[in-house]
Amino acid sequence: MSEADAASRHLPVLAERCLDLLAPAVERAGAVLIDATLGMGGHTEAALRRFPSLHVVGIDRDPQAVALASTRLASFDRFTAVHTTYDHIDDVAARYGDGGRVQGVLMDLGVSSLQLDEAERGFAYAQDAPLDMRMDQSTGISAAELLAEAGEAELRRILRVYGEEKFAGRIAKAIVARRETAPLTRTGELVDIVRDNIPAAARRTGGNPAKRTFQALRIAVNGELEVLERALPRAVEALAVGGRIVVESYHSLEDRAVKTVLARGATSSAPPDMPVEPETHRPYLRLLTRGAEEADAAEQARNPRAKSVRLRAAERLRPTPEHLLGRPTSRSRRSPAA
């Protein structure tokens, strides 16, 4: 794929809104932004064009994405690509930030346009292809291997938890029965199994009936939620005071994880019955969005991927208090609306 193809095929979701939220932190001279989910480089290119002194470090676990974005952004000497999973964001900040801190972090979660569009990667239920779904095909087990090795109970859990699939039990049972006669190796085979085990009435609404199963397997194959849960607190700690984090999520499990970490930082850690809030217990984040923002109708019309986006953002007010580092914070009476 050429640089021009990448630019034409990748329309970043809510790019201007993301940049507006980041602007007060990253428009200053010498600022560093970590794009933790580089993909085809759409958000990064928009940031580099808007902020002429900004250095962007782009992280992606997909070697193809790193290569493609690096070609697309080759004219910018203020761009650096790093091939790794974004839960290593603290290491990246330590290398490229000032004193291990950066001014901005952007996360556009979920599967990238590149992965969905390349049929042979096996992410898309609309095209028959090998059942792979790995974001980095050089490591880990494929979806086909997961379907061959996981027990029925584990498959049911994956489909129910990660895909919020109501018919997880039926689908898991059918997968196990099928693999006793022949292995599942193609996306089309899996689509047929899902369709055959979802009632006709349920198939008539909500789009392709296989979408929840494919989402669940993709999340499991790539350990997406585990990576996200490790990355979020590290991303917050990588921010300098005054720095900002913007996160775009595409399903409820991602958004819930983001909401929890940002609300924790924006909540006083003082006991509810303490008459005076100690300085050390004041919130260290300020929420920049009221709840999760959604794309308007015009954005959704321009970019269908924006239909399910949930955007949250926060600003670092002060360093995280020592007593909270590495530990969860309980709710208090001073918790902001989230």
Predicted confidence band of residue 312 (pLDDT cuts 50, 70, 90): very high
**Does 86 appear as a known binding residue?**
yes
Q: What is the pLDDT of residue 49?
A: 97
**Does 137 appear as a known binding residue?**
no
**Does 251 appear as a known binding residue?**
no
**Does 255 appear as a known binding residue?**
no
More confident: 207 or 98:
98
Q: What is the pLDDT of residue 186?
A: 93
Residue 263 scores a pLDDT above 70: yes
Domains of the chain: 3-113+224-324 (3.40.50.150), 120-222 (1.10.150.170)
In Å, what is the CA distance from 19 to each residue of 49, 311, 335? 11, 12, 27
**Does 60 appear as a known binding residue?**
yes
Q: What is the rounded CA–CA span in Å between residue 321 and residue 230?
A: 19
Residue 23 scores a pLDDT above 90: yes
Residue 97 scores a pLDDT above 70: yes
Alpha helix positions (H), 103-251: 113-117, 143-149, 152-163, 168-179, 187-196, 200-203, 211-222, 224-238
**Does 162 appear as a known binding residue?**
no
**Does 5 appear as a known binding residue?**
no
More confident: 138 or 21:
21
Predicted confidence band of residue 9 (pLDDT cuts 50, 70, 90): low
